[in-house]
Amino acid sequence: MHFLKTIASFDLSAVDLAEAIGRLHPMLLHMPIGLIVALAILEFPHLFKKSAPVHDRPRTVLVTLLAITSMASATAGWLLHEGGGYGSPVEWHEWLGVGLAFLTVAIAISYWRKSETYTLGVLAAFILLIPTAHLGATLTHGDDFLTEPWEPAFAVKDDQPTEEVAEAKLVPQEETEQPLLKDEQVNPGEAADVTPAPLGDALVESTGSTFPVEEPGLTLTYADIAPILKSYCIKCHGTRKRKGDLALHDLGSIMAGGEHGEVLVPGDPLNSKLITTLSLPVDDDHHMPPEGKKQPSADAIAQLTLWVQGMDSAAFATATEQSAPVPAEPASTPEPSEEPAPEAPTLPTNTSFAPTAPNPDAIQALASRQVYVQALGEDSDLMGLNFTASSLGDETITSLLAPIAGLVGELCLYGKRPSDQDLLLLGSMPRLAHLDMRNTGGESMTLGSLRNSKSITSLNLAGTTLAAADWDALAEMKSLKRVHLWGTGISEDALQALSEQRPDLVILGLGIEGDAPIETEPEVDFTRFVPDAGSEEEALTEGEHTADAGPENATCPVSDKPVDPAFTVVHEGRTIGFCCANCPKSFLADPAKYLAILNKN
Amino acid sequence: MTNHDPVAARKLLLTRRRLFGLSAGAIGGLLGRASLGSLLSADAARGASLGADLTSGAGPLGNLGIGGPHFPAKAKRVIYMHMEGGPSQLDLFDYKPGLRSRFDQDLPNSIRDGQRLTGMTSGQARFPVAPSMFRFSRYPNSQDGAWISELLPHTGSVARDLCVVRSMHTDAINHEPAITFFQTGNQVPGRPSFGSWMSYGLGNANENLPAFVVLISQGFGNMQALSERFWSSGFLNGEHQGCKIRTGDNPVLYLKDPAGVSRKDRRRMLDLVGALNEKEEARSFDPEIATRMAQYEMAYRMQMSVPDLVDFKDETEDTLAMYGPEVQKPGTFAANCLLARRLAERGVRFIQLYMRGWDAHSNLPKEIRDQTAAVDQPQAALIRDLDQRGLLDDTIVLWSGEFGRTVYSQGTLTETNYGRDHHPRAFSSWLAGGGFKRGIVHGETDDFGYNIARDPVSVHDLHATMLHQLGFDHERLTHRVQGRDFRLTDVEGTVQHSLLD
């Protein structure tokens, strides 16, 4: 009855026919391959010379079947590609395959017409077949399918650790790579998460793993587990193929997830499909890798699990100056006031505090969000960033800064309001010296985890209203040397307290007033002699002052026009006036002549 | 063997063009990675080319094409208040009480020493000394005080922040060449302006606004022409040119959408043009196309950012009062000073203010009173406002004319009226912030204020010193064109460390 019911409810319109036909491609494609090879063998004696085809039964069958099956195969392949899930390398395969299909049709036509191009067509098809088939196989099996078994023969001794090596060196990490910050910053809540108690048991049961999952303090990094993903996953979820729009070849892609959402929840392997799909029974439809493919060992799955489990704290650990592993037991709990436990912000998993070369993708992401990036000097690996013009969209300050957190020396967040998570990151960035948080706007904000900063030397908070509790935070920032507090709403008392707590802290921006002059010179007077003994001024004496006397003459000696007092020349103690600027030149050229005229008048 | 086949030659040419295009892309590491399809690549290409020009590539960032200065910079931006026409240093900053006893005395020949004068006074029979008729006051600074004229009481009140240079000198004696020299380091037009060099060297810190902005205030005294080429980018890429922000409904010309065109339509138009440009870029690899696309996108963003920029609604009463009553009148020096602060806090690199009208050949006392009344309070307010907001530390404020004015009077000399001619040999400028020493007076002129007696500072020296604070070795901030490297300071300029902290 059930069977009939199924038949009755058959609904063709619900089927994606394109996909259904597309999936026939792997089945169909081997027929034309065999037919081309068979035809090439059959025609081998004529293959290298032009000759009309011999018509006989086997040839007719082969040629006809070839044209039909190759067209069918190409059509199915085309539809399969339309369905997606393949990267750009499929393009070449696709065009070569389509070309090949049309070529087989051409062969069939030339065969029926007994054309001399027939044998050439067969030869061309055979040659074209090789790259087409190879590219297709590469898509399915990966580009190192043929070479892989040979790799050990060429292996260089100190190459990337293979997966066996990686498994062997799994001991608790004694030291993190870049000890940069002090240890107080470890969030005890996260540290406690490292012990994967019940899950470990479950895994041991379900997979028969012998791996010491419950080893306390064990943290794995992405580098530790990358070889596992490389061996088992990235042939289908990598750069070449992205089945289900999921790529697992780097951390960023893993975090990005696939078409069904995220596959990794940091700290929560039971909700991470990356882990759960591995643990399903092999015949389950959702099991990965698919049935028939190489399956990871139980230890490898355990390692992946542990990595996911410890992700938060592992990322955090790289930022801390810990020489010992993260304690498994919750260490001495600090004052409860400091930690708003339930929703404490955490750092993203890709946070990098290392002063290593920046990831070009991270720089690209900044540029695409209109964040200005500048090098702080040509010999420096530090960057100055300005978020003023940024439009963050689905990114956050944290998501943009996390991959380059060890490289930022200056940061301007003018007009941007950092979240608690952003402040956590800013407070733990090891080389951030200058932080500009002017005009973050809105209600008063709290400095939060910024108080943990060990690197910020100058902080500009002008125009940012701060919560009353934050003045202590400023005092706590030991590295802080200069702080701008204009427009922060700081009270007299708080200011007083801050300067007492931190006498070395230069507080700027407050009480800027203009100065009154120290002294002003006496009234300026150069027309009369001022007998003021106390004055610093040299006053003019009557005798030195020539303007008062005025010219002695009323008419210009050169032009005979009325004198303009603006144009005078002092000559032999006499002040002589002229009508314009040019006449004095004539006068000085021959004073005797004009003095005579003057004297006559 | 040479191939003379024109078709083959054409093919070779195409191949070479593509090769150059490709290698230009490869120089910018970013562009190499960016898909040509994204608009981002246009911006990235620009940043990348900067990196290639200006960082040695030795550091890890240089390899990624991230540009930056040569060494860590003290200052990030410049507000340059150009007093167009040449203010009289003798009536403002160069205090010469001794001249009061030499009123109308002929300037001794030993002082002028045969200097060529402008055509406006070379015909004058006499060169009567015109002492300033304005009283000076001594304002507290880091030394024993700065003497500043009664015309600038507000400026005097911030003397604690000023680095007054009384020993500036320039090569040019007329406005056009002198302004050109001050802006570009050369009297002959055609070189890039200081702001363009900044944009070229550091890129744009705020991609919603131009890196180099010009604001013009009309003066009250005698005004000279103000050529647009003063803020031209010369031989540098056109995107480094200064952008003039005007008053009124249309602060930036051609920015508004035409009537009837909605922002959505504009976006669709830009997307379509962008797609076509991408195709052309992919074909020709012409870097100008990337620049053009970036400019279109920036203009689109400026449509949003500029109205917000020029609207003073979010300023407090206190702030507005500080700049004085004129601040509400767009285009006044007060309004432009406040606008300069708003641009500075948004990360604009180079803000050029022009105040016209200082060319007082006659009626100097009246003209300078009007001019100083317009600039005194706003410029002092700008200093204080920047200081409050913590921006003065990394902003160089420069106040200067293209030259000074003569000690002798041009035309009528009375106790209450005189004029002064152009004087390039010695004049006063001041700087504030950006790591310049606060509260000093540098240099000295002779008793007549005519020649420099101590610590001369040339325009090239000033440029070199400012570039130093901005993180650049002025000898290495160069651009190669027509077969030689050009720089702002040409072949001269010495960093004046005595002006710096």
Residue type (1 letter), B38: S
Q: Which of A452-456, A468-472, B79-83 bottoms out in mean pLDDT, i.e. has the lowest? A: A468-472
Q: State mean pLDDT over A512-532.
A: 71
Total count of domains within chain B: 2
What is the pLDDT confidence band of residue A217, given thresholds at 50, 70 and 90? Answer: low
Q: Are residues A362 and A406 in the same domain?
A: yes
Q: Which chain A residues are Cβ-neighbours of B46 within 8 angstroms?
A: none
What is the pLDDT confidence band of residue A357, given thresholds at 50, 70 and 90? Answer: confident
Q: Are residues B61 and B205 in the same domain?
A: no
Environment class of residue B110 by beta-carbon count within 10 Å: exposed (0-12), middle (13-18) or buried (19+)?
Answer: exposed
Domain that holds residue B408: 77-219+330-499
- A355 DSSP assignment: -
Cβ of B137 within 8 Å of Cβ of A520? The answer is: yes
Q: What percent of chain B has pLDDT over 70?
A: 87
From the CB of residue A559, how many other CB atoms can be counted at a distance below 10 Å?
14
Residues 6 or more apart whose CB falls under 8 angstroms from that of B17 comprise B284, B285
**Structure confidence at residue B5 (pLDDT):** 56
Answer yes or no: is B345 within a domain. Answer: yes
CA distance A80 to chain B (A): 26
Environment class of residue B28 by beta-carbon count within 10 Å: exposed (0-12), middle (13-18) or buried (19+)?
Answer: buried
Q: Are residues A325 and A183 in the same domain?
A: yes
Q: Which of A171-180, A551-560, B231-240 bottoms out in mean pLDDT, i.e. has the lowest? A: A171-180
Answer yes or no: is A338 within a domain. Answer: no
Total count of domains within chain A: 4
B29, B137, B203 member nearest A374 (Cβ): B203
Q: Are residues B319 and B436 in the same domain?
A: no
**Structure confidence at residue B34 (pLDDT):** 30
Residues 6 or more apart whose CB falls under 8 angstroms from that of A455 comprise A429, A430, A431, A432, A433, A479
Answer yes or no: is A166 within a domain. Answer: no
Answer yes or no: is A340 within a domain. Answer: no
Answer yes or no: is B489 within a domain. Answer: yes
Q: Are residues B357 and B309 in the same domain?
A: no
Q: Are residues A325 and A381 in the same domain?
A: no
Residue type (1 letter), A132: T
B55, B60, B139 member nearest A357 (Cβ): B60
**Structure confidence at residue A86 (pLDDT):** 67
**Structure confidence at residue A536 (pLDDT):** 41
Q: State mean pLDDT over B203-218.
A: 92
Angle at A11 between CA A9 and CA A15, to 5 degrees: 135
Q: Which of A410, A486, A507, A526 to mutate to test the interface with B (most CBs of B within 10 A)?
A: A526
CATH code at B193? 3.40.720
Q: Are residues A441 and A378 in the same domain?
A: yes
Q: Are residues B317 and B368 in the same domain?
A: no
Q: Are residues B319 and B343 in the same domain?
A: no
Question: How many residues make up chain B in this entry?
Answer: 501
Query: What values do phi and psi take at B175, rounded to 5?
Result: -55, -55
Q: Which chain A residues are Cβ-neighbours of B298 within 8 angstroms?
A: none
Q: Are residues A261 and A376 in the same domain?
A: no
Domain that holds residue A504: 354-508
Q: State mean pLDDT over B317-324.
A: 95
CA distance to A16, A17, A79, per residue, from A20 (Å): 6, 5, 9
Answer yes or no: is B230 within a domain. Answer: no
Residue of B nearest to A359 (CA): B64
Q: Which chain A residues are Cβ-neighbours of B208 within 8 angstroms?
A: 370, 389
Q: Which chain B residues are Cβ-neighbours of A544 within 8 angstroms?
A: 101-102, 105
Q: Using CA of residue A438, residue A440, residue A441, residue A447, what is the dihedral sign?
A: negative
Residues 6 or more apart whose CB falls under 8 angstroms from that of B363 comprise B221, B417, B419
Q: Are residues A212 and A301 in the same domain?
A: yes
For A423, the token pair is 């402040």
Of the two residues B102 and A243, the one the predictor is more confident about is B102
Q: Which of B102, B389, B408 to mutate to test the interface with A (most CBs of A within 10 A)?
A: B389
Q: Are residues B353 and B475 in the same domain?
A: yes
Answer yes or no: is B240 within a domain. Answer: no
Answer yes or no: is B171 within a domain. Answer: yes
Residues B462, B455: Cα–Cα separation, whole Å = 12
Q: Which chain A residues are Cβ-neighbours of B305 within 8 angstroms?
A: 389
Q: Which chain A residues are Cβ-neighbours of B139 within 8 angstroms?
A: 515, 517-518
Q: Which of B56, B61, B133, B376 to mutate to test the interface with A (most CBs of A within 10 A)?
A: B61
pLDDT at A175 over 70: no
Residues B282, B34: Cα–Cα separation, whole Å = 13
Over residues B147-205, the pLDDT tens digits come to: 999 999 999 999 999 999 999 999 999 999 999 999 999 999 999 999 999 999 888 88
Of the two residues B188 and B284, the one the predictor is more confident about is B188
Cβ of A379 within 8 Å of Cβ of B347? The answer is: no
Q: Are residues A377 and A477 in the same domain?
A: yes
Of the two residues B462 and B303, the one the predictor is more confident about is B462
A378, A536, A567 member nearest B59 (Cβ): A378
Q: Which of A40-49, A55-64, A141-150, B376-385 bottoms out in mean pLDDT, i.e. has the lowest? A: A141-150
Phi-psi region of A233 (alpha: psi -120 to 50; beta: other; left: phi over 0): alpha
Q: Are residues B148 and B262 in the same domain?
A: no
Over residues B108-133, the pLDDT tens digits come to: 888 888 888 888 888 888 899 999 99
Q: Are residues B351 and B424 in the same domain?
A: yes
CA distance B491 to chain A (A): 23
Q: Are residues B371 and B292 in the same domain?
A: no
Helix intervals (H) in A83-196: 90-112, 118-141, 151-154, 163-168, 188-192
Residue of B nearest to A516 (CA): B157
Q: Which chain A residues are Cβ-neighbours of B322 within 8 angstroms?
A: none
CA distance A315 to chain B (A): 23
CA distance A354 to chain B (A): 13
Over residues B301-311, the pLDDT tens digits come to: 888 888 889 88
Cβ of B66 within 8 Å of Cβ of A363? The answer is: yes
- Residue ending a domain, among B326, B341, B365, is B326
Answer yes or no: is A431 within a domain. Answer: yes
Answer yes or no: is B491 within a domain. Answer: yes
What is the pLDDT confidence band of residue A172, given thresholds at 50, 70 and 90? Answer: very low
Residues A282, B269: Cα–Cα separation, whole Å = 54
Answer yes or no: is B269 within a domain. Answer: yes
Strands B440-442, A383-386: pairing is unpaired
Residues 6 or more apart whose CB falls under 8 angstroms from that of B477 comprise B54, B70, B197, B201, B467, B487, B488
Residue B148 parent element (H or E): strand B146-149
Q: Are residues A440 and A485 in the same domain?
A: yes
pLDDT at A199 over 50: no
Q: Are residues A180 and A327 in the same domain?
A: yes
Q: Which chain B residues are Cβ-neighbours of A462 within 8 angstroms?
A: 388-390
Q: Which of A506-510, B93-97, B382-386 bottoms out in mean pLDDT, i.e. has the lowest? A: A506-510
Cβ of A438 within 8 Å of Cβ of B345? The answer is: yes
Q: Are residues A391 and A473 in the same domain?
A: yes
B60, B203, B205 member nearest A381 (Cβ): B60
- Residue ending a domain, among B272, B300, B326, is B326
Answer yes or no: is B236 within a domain. Answer: no
Q: Which of A352-366, A410-424, A520-534, B245-259 bottoms out in mean pLDDT, i.e. has the lowest? A: A520-534
The answer to whether B388 and A462 are in contact (CB under 8 A) is yes
pLDDT at B384 over 90: yes
Residue of A nearest to B55 (CA): A378
Q: Are residues B437 and B449 in the same domain?
A: yes
Answer yes or no: is A29 within a domain. Answer: yes
- Residue ending a domain, among B283, B298, B326, is B326
Residues 6 or more apart whose CB falls under 8 angstroms from that of A224 comprise A166, A170, A303, A307
CB pairs below 8 Å between A and B: how many?
A: 228
Answer yes or no: is A240 within a domain. Answer: yes
Q: Are residues B101 and B165 in the same domain?
A: yes
CA distance B407 to chain A (A): 15
Residues B18, B6: Cα–Cα separation, whole Å = 18
- ipTM of the complex as predicted: 0.84
Residues 6 or more apart whose CB falls under 8 angstroms from that of B143 comprise B439, B440, B441
B37 and A CB contact within 8 Å: no
Answer yes or no: is A170 within a domain. Answer: no
CA distance A519 to chain B (A): 5
Closest-CA residue to B174 (of B251, B111, B118): B118
Buried b (16+ CB within 10 A) or exposed e, B262-293: eeeebeeebeeebeebbeebeeebebebbbbb
Q: Which of B40, B100, B141 to mutate to test the interface with A (most CBs of A within 10 A)?
A: B100
Q: Are residues B359 and B459 in the same domain?
A: yes
Strands B395-401, B427-432: pairing is antiparallel
Helices and strands in chain A: count of H runs, count of E runs: 23, 10
B44 and A CB contact within 8 Å: yes
**Structure confidence at residue B318 (pLDDT):** 92
B134 and A CB contact within 8 Å: yes
Q: Are residues A68 and A195 in the same domain?
A: no
Q: Which chain A residues are Cβ-neighbours of B209 within 8 angstroms?
A: 389
A388, A537, A567 member nearest B125 (Cβ): A567
Cβ of A570 within 8 Å of Cβ of B106? The answer is: yes
B202 and A CB contact within 8 Å: yes
CATH code at A494? 3.80.10.10
Q: Are residues A284 and A377 in the same domain?
A: no
**Structure confidence at residue A176 (pLDDT):** 39
A367, A484, A587 member nearest B44 (Cβ): A367
Note the maximum CA span of chain A: 148
Answer yes or no: is A307 within a domain. Answer: yes
B140 and A CB contact within 8 Å: yes
Cβ of A374 within 8 Å of Cβ of B131? The answer is: no
Cβ of A546 within 8 Å of Cβ of B389? The answer is: no
- Residue ending a domain, among A122, A141, A160, is A141
From the CB of residue A529, how many other CB atoms can be counted at a distance below 10 Å?
15
Residues 6 or more apart whose CB falls under 8 angstroms from that of A131 comprise A92, A96
CA distance A375 to chain B (A): 5
Among B residues 288-327, those touching chain A with beta carbons less than 8 Å apart: 301, 305
Query: What values do phi and psi take at B350, rounded to 5?
Result: -135, 115
